C-alpha cells in the first residue's frame, strides 16, 4: 500500500515548484492546482488505481500534408541526454524502462529481458496499450521515485530513452537529443498536469488537452508545439523520409548525435559528398569552417543548410526547404 498523500504532493510539487531538469537548466513552473480537500478523496483515488486503464485518443489530430511513416531503430539505449543548444553532455538519472516495467505486463507476454510471447499482433496491441513515460525537469531522486510509482500503478512504465517513449512530461520544449528523438517518434509532449489529472481519475487520460503550451517555443518558431506534436503523431519518423543527409566535419553537436536524430527522423546518413547519388534528395549540413565543401555541394545541386536549420526543422517537425541555404549566405 503506498502513501497516497506523498504521491499527490510529488505531483503538485512537479507542477508548482521550480526544479533543475535532466538537462541541468533552471526553470520556472506554473502555479499548482489546489490539493484535494480530504484524505478520503485521496483514498478513493488510490482504490481506482487498482484497475489501471489508459484511454488515449488520436481523434483530435488533424490531417497533415506529409504522407507515410518510416519507423526505424534509431538509437541505442542511453542514460545520457545531450543539449543541442550548448552542445554539453548532461547526465539523466531517470530509470530505464526495464527497471520499472510494471509487474502486470508479464501476464501479457512481455518479459524483463525484452522477449515476447504470443502473436505479433498481440505484441503490437500491448505496446500501444500502456505509456512509456520520460520525465524531464526533475532533479530530485525522491520525487522521481514517487512519480515512477504513480506511473506504474496507473499501468505505465518510465524510461530515460526518448526513442522508445510514448510520452514526455516536461514544462519546456528543449533542444536535446532525447527530446528530439521522442518528438520524431511521435511521442506526446505533455505538461505535468496530465499525470496529476490522471492520478486523480485513477487512469491515464486523453493527452490532447494537456499538450504542452510553451510561450518561448511559440515566439521562436511562430507556431505552437501542438502543431509539431500532431505532425509527428500522424507521420512518425517521416520528417526526412526519402532524403540523404551528409554531415560536414565541423558541425556541432557531433556527427554521431546528429546521425541519431536524422535516422529517427527517417533520413539516411551518408559519409561524404562522394557518396551522393541523388543531389536533389541530398542535404549537406555544414558550418562556417566547412565553407569550401558547402560551395562544392551547392554546385552539385545539393541542398546546403546549417545545423541550426536542421534542429529547427526537427523541433517544428516541418522540413523547410524554402529557407535560405547555407551556401547562399556565405
Average of pLDDT values for 160-179? 97
Say if residue 50 is in the same domain as residue 131: yes
Q: Are residues 170 and 248 in the same domain?
A: no
Per-residue pLDDT, 46: 40
What is the rounded distance in angstroms from the CA atom of residue 276 to the CA atom of residue 296?
12
Distance CA 196, CA 205 (A): 10
Residue ending a domain, among 177, 205, 234, is: 234
CA distances (Å), origin 38, targets 15, 41, 194:
20, 6, 21
pLDDT bracket for residue 260 (50, 70, 90): very high
Q: Report how many domains make up the chain.
A: 2
DSSP string, 292-330: HHHHHHHHTT-EEEEHHHHHHHHHHT---TTSPPTGGG-
Q: How confident is the model at residue 44 (pLDDT cuts 50, 70, 90)?
A: very low
**112 lies in the same domain as 215:** yes
Q: What is the CA radius of gyration of the chain?
A: 21
Look at residues 213, 234, 255 and tell me which one is the last residue of a structural domain.
Answer: 234
| Nearest CA among 100, 59, 94 for reference residue 80 | 94
Asked if pLDDT for residue 310 goes beyond 60, the answer is yes
What tens digit of pLDDT does each residue of 89-142 get?
333 333 333 333 333 332 223 333 334 344 444 444 444 568 999 999 888 889
Q: In angstroms, rounded to a whole number, what is the distance separating the alpha carbons of residues 162 and 160? A: 6
Higher-scoring residue by pLDDT: 14, 276: 276
Residue 253 belongs to a domain with what CATH number?
A: 3.40.50.10190
DSSP letters, 256-275, are HHHHHHHHHTT-EEES-GGG
pTM of this structure: 0.68
Residues 189 and 125 reside in one and the same domain: yes
Amino acid at each position: 500500500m503506498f502513501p497516497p498523500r506523498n504521491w499527490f504532493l510529488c505531483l503538485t510539487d512537479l507542477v508548482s515548484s521550480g526544479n533543475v531538469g535532466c538537462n541541468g537548466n533552471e526553470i520556472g513552473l506554473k502555479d499548482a492546482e489546489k490539493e484535494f480537500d480530504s484524505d478520503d478523496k485521496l483514498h478513493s483515488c488510490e482504490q481506482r488505481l487498482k484497475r489501471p486503464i489508459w484511454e488515449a485518443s488520436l481523434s483530435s489530430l488533424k490531417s497533415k500534408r506529409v504522407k507515410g511513416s518510416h519507423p526505424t531503430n534509431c538509437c541505442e539505449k542511453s542514460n545520457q541526454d545531450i543539449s543541442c543548444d550548448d552542445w554539453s553532455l548532461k547526465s539523466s538519472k531517470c530509470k530505464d524502462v526495464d527497471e520499472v516495467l510494471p509487474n502486470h505486463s508479464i501476464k501479457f507476454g512481455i518479459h524483463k529481458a525484452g522477449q515476447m510471447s504470443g502473436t505479433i499482433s498481440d505484441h503490437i496491441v500491448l505496446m500501444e496499450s500502456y505509456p512509456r513515460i520520460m520525465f524531464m525537469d526533475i532533479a530530485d531522486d525522491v520525487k522521481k521515485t514517487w512519480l515512477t510509482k504513480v506511473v506504474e500503478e496507473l499501468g505505465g512504465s518510465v524510461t530515460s530513452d526518448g526513442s522508445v517513449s510514448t510520452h514526455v512530461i516536461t514544462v519546456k520544449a528543449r533542444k536535446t537529443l532525447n527530446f528530439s528523438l521522442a518528438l520524431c517518434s511521435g511521442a506526446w509532449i505533455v505538461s505535468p498536469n496530465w499525470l496529476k489529472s490522471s492520478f486523480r481519475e485513477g487512469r491515464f487520460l486523453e493527452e490532447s488537452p494537456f499538450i504542452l503550451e510553451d510561450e518561448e517555443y511559440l515566439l521562436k518558431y511562430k507556431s505552437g508545439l501542438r502543431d509539431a506534436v500532431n505532425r509527428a503523431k500522424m507521420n512518425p519518423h517521416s520528417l526526412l523520409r526519402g532524403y540523404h543527409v551528409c554531415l560536414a566535419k565541423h558541425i556541432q553537436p557531433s556527427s554521431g548525435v546528429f546521425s541519431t536524430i536524422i535516422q529517427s527522423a527517417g533520413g539516411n546518413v551518408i559519409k561524404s559528398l562522394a557518396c551522393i547519388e541523388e543531389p536533389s534528395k541530398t542535404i549537406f549540413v555544414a558550418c562556417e569552417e566547412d565553407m569550401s565543401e558547402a560551395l562544392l555541394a551547392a554546385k552539385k545541386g545539393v541542398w546546403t543548410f546549417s545545423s541550426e536549420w536542421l534542429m529547427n526543422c526537427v523541433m517544428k517537425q516541418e522540413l523547410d526547404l524554402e529557407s535560405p541555404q547555407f551556401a547562399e549566405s556565405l
